[in-house]
Amino acid sequence: MAVPLLSIRNLTVQFRVDTGWVTAIDDVSLDVGTGDCVGVVGESGSGKSVTALSVLQLHDRVTTRMPSGSILYQGDDLLRAKGSTMRRIRGSEIAMIFQDPMSSLNPVLTVADQISETLRQHQGLTGAAARKRVIELLGLVRIPDAARRADDYPHRLSGGMRQRVMIAMAIACKPRLLIADEPTTALDVTIQAQILELLRDLRRELSMSVMLISHDLGVIAEFAQRVVVMYAGRVVEDAPVTQLFRRPVHPYTMGLIAAVPALDSDAPRLTTIAGRIPGPQEIIPGCRFSPRCALVLQGCREEPPSMQMVSDGQSARCPPRIQVLDVRHV
């Protein structure tokens, strides 16, 4: 098998709090192959955004540390890369868009300023050449009247338009990997669909790999080929999207799928998983999902489960369930 474009191996990230360090994500591994689209799903607090920010090391340096693990980009460990190497990769090899387009653009610089900055940084484009490319990019993300919009300040644009600007900025240097951290969460439903469609088209046109972070399994199902499910800082299941919906292994994944509203049913209310996700400071022995798990066994509360292969391409962190499934299939 070829080396994946991005491979996160056993990554642990810790944040500083008043009393010491707490572990935000623990032993996280996932791969994004060339041309792949991988979705990372989980509720807020699951560590999916922390994982995404780790790739480009955009965490606050003072309050964050990564004591173990590696992030391999084309085989090189980014966690051991020099600052200048990291800066060359950011925005040019790996680009990122964020959840809130309202606050992610600098309010005192024009759209053109902010996009051309990336072009200058990585391609040395300035002046008229940069401006021409900016307008081209704004057209590419389907912003009408691009030449005029280029000179606007962000507050003059709607949320959807701002996210398009963010996308234009991200694809400016034709990155090989785009990390999209909840790109549609802050937007209206109709705009969400447009932005997702734009991302899908751009991905094909530019042959980018995409890592899409979302709390919305519906969005992931539409967009991704592979899904990584995270819960309380750990990966609990990793599977191709069809496989995941056909046969979810981890009870948490089952809960997530049951909670997706089906458009064709007139079910009166959504199924929910009882309880809440534990904070990083809470100590839960054994499986971190066990307090909420409907299928919990005695052993779940004692031994922290490990990630195990279920079948080709699918693995999960729930030994009892894997055992049950095996028995049934034999």
Comparing CB distances to another protein, the nearer of 100 and 301 is 100
CA 54 to CA 56: how far, in whole Å? 5
Return the closest-CA partner of residue 73 out of 39, 119, 33. 33
Comparing CB distances to another protein, the nearer of 4 and 47 is 47
Comparing CB distances to another protein, the nearer of 179 and 322 is 179
Contact between 2 and another protein per CB under 8 A: no
Comparing CB distances to another protein, the nearer of 194 and 311 is 194
Contact between 155 and another protein per CB under 8 A: yes
Residue with tokens 């066990």: 290
Residue 306 CB burial class (10 angstroms; 0-12, 13-18, ≥19): exposed
Beta bridge partners of 70: 9
Contact between 106 and another protein per CB under 8 A: yes
* 3-state secondary structure (DSSP) of residue 64: strand
CA 155 to CA 30: how far, in whole Å? 37
Contact between 68 and another protein per CB under 8 A: no
Tally helices (H) and strands (E) across the chain.
12, 12
Contact between 276 and another protein per CB under 8 A: yes
Which of 37, 54, 71, 122 forms a contact with another protein (CB under 8 A)? 122
Site string for another protein, 170-209 (x = CB under 8 A): ---------------x---x--------------------
Return the closest-CA partner of residue 134 out of 161, 183, 168. 168
Contact between 297 and 286 (Cβ < 8 Å)? no
Site string for another protein, 85-104 (x = CB under 8 A): --xxxxxx--xx-x-x--xx
CA 78 to CA 86: how far, in whole Å? 7
* 3-state secondary structure (DSSP) of residue 21: strand
Comparing CB distances to another protein, the nearer of 38 and 187 is 187
Which of 166, 171, 195, 318 forms a contact with another protein (CB under 8 A)? 166
DSSP state of 90: B
Contact between 296 and another protein per CB under 8 A: no
Contact between 279 and another protein per CB under 8 A: yes
Contact between 283 and another protein per CB under 8 A: no
Contact between 109 and another protein per CB under 8 A: yes
Applying CB under 8 A, the span of 71-79, 235-243, 254-262, 317-325 interacting with another protein comes to: 254-262
Tokens encoding 272: 């929910």
Return the closest-CA partner of residue 243 out of 312, 305, 141. 312
Beta strands in 75-162 (DSSP E): 76-77, 94-97
Closest distance of CB 7 from another protein, Å = 20
Comparing CB distances to another protein, the nearer of 108 and 327 is 108
| Sites of contact with another protein (CB under 8 A) | 43-45, 53, 56, 58, 62, 87-92, 95-96, 98, 100, 103-109, 117-118, 121-122, 153, 155-156, 166, 169, 185, 189, 215-219, 255-256, 259-261, 270-282
